[in-house]
Amino acid sequence: MNYNIALLKGDGIGPEIVDSAVEVLKKIGEKFGHTFNFTPYLIGGCAIDATGEPLPEETVKGCLASDSVLLGAVGGPKWDTLPGNKRPEKALLGIRAALELFTNLRPAKLYPALKDASPLRADIVERGFDLVIVRELTGGIYFGERGKREGKYGEEAYDTEAYSRMEIERIGKVAFETAMKRNKKLISIDKANVLETSRLWREVMHKMSEEYPEVEYSDMLVDNAAMQLVRNPQQFDVVVTSNMFGDILSDEASQITGSIGMLASASLGYNKCGMYEPIHGSAPDIAGQNKANPIATILSAAMMLRYSFDLGAEADCIEKAVDKVLEAGYRTADLLGGEGTALSCTEITEKILEMI
């Protein structure tokens, strides 16, 4: 089969890690008889430098015309002083909205080979964990009305959160379906003791749970969830939550796995064209030094094969190759914590290619 992939390398380490994932996809193409065609487009700071806009129209058109999108990361100190709507990060919200990517899937799995890298206590880590956060991506407070105004105490700023029944239902469907494919356990996280949006969220999720009697469903308040993730992460399998809560909790979940350089994500909409990206940022402190860990981006490419192209065996092949490389003891600097010899971004990519 032929697949057209838009590459949004972005800034900082973005080009290095996307190049690694491209090598892996090419190798998978050779092994399984597929052709992946790659077309690069500008996004983020590099797009600002070239066109004045963080998300040029050509990039949006190119992504809409492709079968799927692979993104590195955007942003960096060079563009930090630009006004909000001109910043590189604005492009992420724009491309998600343009592709109608209302779901973000973020797996957080503890690799046995990396358990020493987890900041959690040994007895908690020993039990392992493997969860996926289903985050609503195009609604809520990040997209609500905002502004500045004169308030009771003078100048004030405000952001508003709104969720429609439809938005909750469509993310709920993804979450229940994901639970059905895994261990049939779903926890919905909200702040229903305070927020009206959370009360509607909870009402809709409860109603949907009747359609999925096989799924063991429960609710949890977000403050409790933040505690439970570090106390007893084993209790989570599939988690569904709103845009802002998902943003925060998925970073916490990533941290307890040990390294931000390992975690992939998929953003999905109504059709098969998804956007796949590592959860970390552009790491300007190590950009251009061939030190970045490309595994999160490589695992994002594996998610693309699974969710956008229905190539499960090919995705498994990449994930197994990564497992084997880690079990063999190969590490990039971020996974070593200062001890042992670090492989560069290109060297660890070579090891993964060998294992494929």
Which sequence positions are flagged as catalytic? 142, 191, 223, 247, 251
Q: Is the dihedral of CA 270, 272, 277, 279 positive or negative?
A: positive
Q: Please report whether residue 261 would count as binding ligand NAD according to CB under 6 A.
A: yes
**Alpha-carbon distance values, 354 to 288, 313, 322 (Å):** 24, 17, 10
Q: Which residues contact 83 (CB under 8 A, 6 or more apart)?
A: none
From residue 1 to residue 30, the character string flagging contacts with ligand NAD as x (rule: CB under 6 A) and all else as - is: ------------x-----------------
Q: Please report whether residue 138 would count as binding ligand NAD according to CB under 6 A.
A: no
Query: At its nearest, how many Å lie between ligand NAD and the CB of residue 65?
Result: 22
# residues contacting ligand NAD (CB under 6 A): 21
Q: Which is nearer to ligand NAD, 137 or 204 (CB)?
A: 137
Return the residue of 25, 73, 134, 192 that touches ligand NAD, per CB under 6 A: 73
From residue 25 to residue 64, the character string flagging contacts with ligand NAD as x (rule: CB under 6 A) and all else as - is: ----------------------------------------
Q: Which is nearer to ligand NAD, 77 or 151 (CB)?
A: 77
In whole angstroms, give the CA distance from residue 202 to residue 165.
10
Q: Which is nearer to ligand NAD, 107 or 261 (CB)?
A: 261
Element (H, E) at 300: helix 295-307
β 154-159/146-151 pair status: antiparallel
Q: Please report whether residue 75 would count as binding ligand NAD according to CB under 6 A.
A: yes
Q: Which is nearer to ligand NAD, 29 or 284 (CB)?
A: 284
Tokens 């938005």 correspond to what residue?
A: 167
Q: Please report whether residue 93 would count as binding ligand NAD according to CB under 6 A.
A: no
**How is 47-110 classified by DSSP, letter by letter?**
HHHHHS-SS-HHHHHHHHHSSEEEEEE---GGGTTS-GGGSTTHHHHHHHHHTT--EEEEEEE-
Structure tokens at 299: 């695992």
Return the residue of 292, 301, 303, 352 that touches ligand NAD, per CB under 6 A: 292
**Torsion angle, alpha carbons of 301, 302, 306, 310, to 10:** 70
Site residues for ligand NAD per CB under 6 A: 13, 73-76, 89, 92, 260-261, 277, 280-286, 292-293, 296, 334
